[in-house]
Amino acid sequence: MSPMAAAMLSSHPNLMPNGTAAAATAGSARLLLLLRRHGHPQAVRSIHRLDPSDPFPGTLGTRRVDWKASCAFLSSKAAAGPDSSSDKPLSPSGDPPAADPEPDDDGKGGNHRLSAAINGVRTAAAAGALDLVPISNLPRPLTIADLSPAPMHGSRLRVAYQGVPGAYSEAAAGKAYPNCEAIPCDQFEVAFQAVELWIADRAVLPVENSLGGSIHRNYDLLLRHRLHIVGEVQMPVHHCLLALPGVRKEYLTRVMSHPQALAQCELTLTRLGLNVTREAFDDTAGAAEHVANNGLRDTAAIASARAAELYGLQVLADGIQDDSSNVTRFVMLAREPIIPRTDRPFKTSIVFAHDREGTSVLFKVLSAFAFRDISLTKIESRPHRHRPIRLVDDANVGTAKHFEYMFYVDFEASMADTRAQNALAEIQEFTSFLRVLGSYPMDMTPWGAPSSSASSSTNPPPPPPSSSAPPSS
């Protein structure tokens, strides 16, 4: 019961049940009418939840004829129109205005109108004339769309990323979900938690770079959380050397950026003749923000051109990455997995472990894929010989276990493909731990595509469906 309903009951003793069916029906009907006048239409809907077969007469859930009387009374009040005296505002005490020529209450706890309605309805019900109560005037029930409108793919989703505005992860979020609301997070762990706690709808996080390799921190977090990979996006990395306006390169004594960005520009910094110290920072755009906010005229940052625009820095050198084909792969994470399909290229990511010695288990895993002609795009091992790792199972229960190695595998097949299903069924027989991290559409954007492709859709148009069924083993 809402606070408004409780207040009405406390201030109107006539609305409380007095042990008789007629008084209880009158109190129930009047309470519903008062709630309706005070902006509580949902209370009107509750009349349909009264149990006509209630074995305890004298309560609010009385006999079927009294329930129909309440419905008929409310329906007649609603049909009376805005000029009806029943629609006049209540006095501060909750009673009808004194000027009402035909008051509902006779001062003795009775109600002439309700009694007449009940008597009439009982007569009609006895004759079998009353079967259905018109509910056209009742408010429309809420739907799931009214409660929580679920945005479609890329439509104002809240997307968490690690870093500050201007980071490459923000650009990847914009490419994966155009027009999304990007939510910066200071750590990768925070981005995972933002999705789990419903603060964000998706998370876009880097997992590997074509030069620097895998970002192992995020692979470990995938095991510690129950988020699912629902897509991937590849972003070309275009590094710039940024400094405060008016600063010249020969004045620099320090360069700061993310460790991978520093490693990706090492040769170019040497060719530029810069005798500077390298200092690691949490992310590239964060380094640019730090230089701008602290007025460091002897320090440069390696970040994107967008970071220079956001923080008022000048570009001393453009495209300073050692390899022009520098690409970072990001994955999109969600609370629920997507439904795998076979009408477009799909990729599946798994992780498994085994407790047995030797390489026979790994050989059997690779054979399960090779036998079914499934291409592997990534295989990597992570040692966990001397420290346990917390694994979360399908019941969201964490368990600390010791494994010699964890193996991460990406292969080009959808979980809707019978070949992939049979391969995982075979792998599960000789592994002690197996988990599917996600089955999702592949990003088919060419690596040489410009970064302006952030405004384009992540997934390409699906190819025409094949007439042949996927082979099975």
Catalytic residues: 328, 330
* Residues 393, 399 contacting (CB under 8 angstroms): yes
Give the whole-angstrom CA distance, residue 292 versus residue 313: 7
